[in-house]
């Protein structure tokens, strides 16, 4: 469907359609959880099922039948066979297929109207796999519907584990061992779920969690995370200097030609004081449809885990809010590198602009392309 033939959709209509689309994803999740419950109950002995009903005794004793079952390792093939042979499981499977068809239809309708669902936008801008998208839904489910937390605890045989975990996600969304092995990479530190702080994993309990900020985005409410808002301030507009027009056009064309899946490398605008580095950054961002925000590296936490968490949050917010961070590096000194600035340049997985008086020294990991500004 071309842009000229798209069906118009008001903001209120989109909000309603987006909410229904998210609800259908949660209904699909509930069907997967229900089917998984059937499978686990088929493996639990009568004694185990009886003990699971005694909350006061839960976890105080482990039955012989439980140990025997645990030694009999769970098999994807056995589980798939159960889903094909059990009548209730088959019915749930048919409902899951119908849900998938409905979701595809709703997704296509929203895209055709030029206003795709927030979940689909999230998947696109962060280049998520279907499994990673489902993990986001799994984690968001607990924040949207509290009943999911008890279901998670029940399926994981731990009353204290009321959050999703990687094993739970793999058991729900993977059909065979090969899929599960490939999907495990989604939880790596350099995967998009962790790299952009879409989902975090507790080091002690291994629980997967999602920020309210992401849940709000899925509901269609896009707001800048307050924690990151403390580090950023909008770059104000300035009169466009005639000497910069040609350079801005050249940089815009170069970036659009070099775009890879809508992603660009960083730009280093360097020149003496008064050359208009910050104004040029704002002009370029306006042309690219981005919001220029100046980042003050001195306000970052000290080096360590907390700083890494903030950098992941910054990357996430840059993508969700279409922000291009502008970093004033001053006078870069290769002998005494400004640690915070270079850490930003090396770890920022989004488009950014660095302003400096002289060219930032080349480093493979910075991905900077430099342009000189005269006066």
pLDDT of residue 373: 78
* pLDDT tens figures, 293-318: 999 888 888 888 888 899 999 999 99
- φ/ψ region of 24 (left if φ > 0, alpha if ψ in -120 to 50, else beta) reads alpha
CB 289 within 8 A of CB 264: no
* pLDDT tens figures, 47-84: 555 555 444 444 455 555 665 555 565 688 999 999 99
pLDDT of residue 72: 60
pLDDT of residue 162: 92
pLDDT of residue 7: 60
pLDDT of residue 280: 92
Provide block-wise average pLDDT over 10 residues at a time, the chain (375 residues): 58 96 98 97 68 48 57 79 97 98 98 97 97 98 95 92 95 95 95 96 91 97 90 88 82 80 75 90 93 88 87 94 90 56 78 88 62 70
Distance CA(164)–CA(149), nearest Å, equals 8
pLDDT of residue 62: 56
- pLDDT above 70 coverage of the chain, percent: 83
């Amino acid at each position: 469907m071309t842009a000229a033939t798209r069906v118009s959709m008001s903001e209120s209509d989109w909000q309603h359609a987006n909410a229904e689309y998210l609800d259908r994803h949660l209904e699909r999740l509930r069907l997967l959880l229900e089917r998984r419950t059937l499978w686990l109950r088929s493996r639990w002995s009568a004694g185990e099922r009886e003990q699971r009903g005694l909350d006061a005794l839960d976890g105080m004793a482990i039955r012989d039948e439980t140990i025997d079952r645990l030694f009999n390792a769970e098999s994807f093939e056995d589980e798939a066979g159960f889903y094909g042979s059990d009548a209730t499981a088959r019915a749930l499977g048919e409902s899951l297929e119908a849900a998938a068809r409905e979701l595809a239809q709703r997704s296509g309708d929203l895209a055709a109207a030029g206003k795709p669902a927030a979940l689909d936008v999230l998947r696109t801008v962060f280049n998520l796999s279907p499994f990673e998208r489902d993990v986001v839904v799994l984690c968001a489910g607990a924040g949207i519907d509290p009943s999911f937390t008890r279901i998670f605890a029940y399926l994981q045989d731990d009353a204290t584990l009321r959050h999703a975990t990687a094993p739970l996600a793999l058991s729900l969304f993977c059909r065979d061992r090969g899929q599960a092995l490939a999907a495990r990479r989604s939880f790596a530190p350099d995967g998009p779920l962790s790299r952009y702080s879409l989902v975090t994993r507790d080091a002690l309990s291994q629980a997967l969690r999602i920020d309210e900020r992401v849940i709000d985005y899925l509901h269609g409410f896009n707001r800048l995370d307050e924690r990151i808002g403390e580090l950023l301030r909008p770059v104000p507009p300035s009169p466009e200097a005639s000497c910069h027009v040609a350079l801005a056009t050249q940089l815009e064309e170069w970036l659009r030609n070099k775009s890879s899946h809508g992603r660009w490398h960083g730009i280093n605008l360097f020149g003496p004081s008064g050359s208009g580095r910050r104004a040029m950054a704002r002009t370029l961002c306006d042309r690219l449809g981005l919001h220029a925000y100046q980042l003050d590296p001195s306000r970052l936490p000290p080096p360590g885990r907390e700083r890494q968490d903030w950098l992941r949050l910054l990357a996430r917010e840059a993508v969700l809010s279409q922000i291009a961070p502008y970093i004033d590096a001053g006078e870069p000194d290769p002998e005494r590198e400004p640690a915070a600035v270079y850490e930003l340049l090396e770890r920022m997985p989004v488009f950014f602009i660095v302003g400096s008086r002289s060219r930032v020294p080349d480093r493979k990991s910075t991905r900077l392309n430099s342009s000189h500004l005269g006066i």
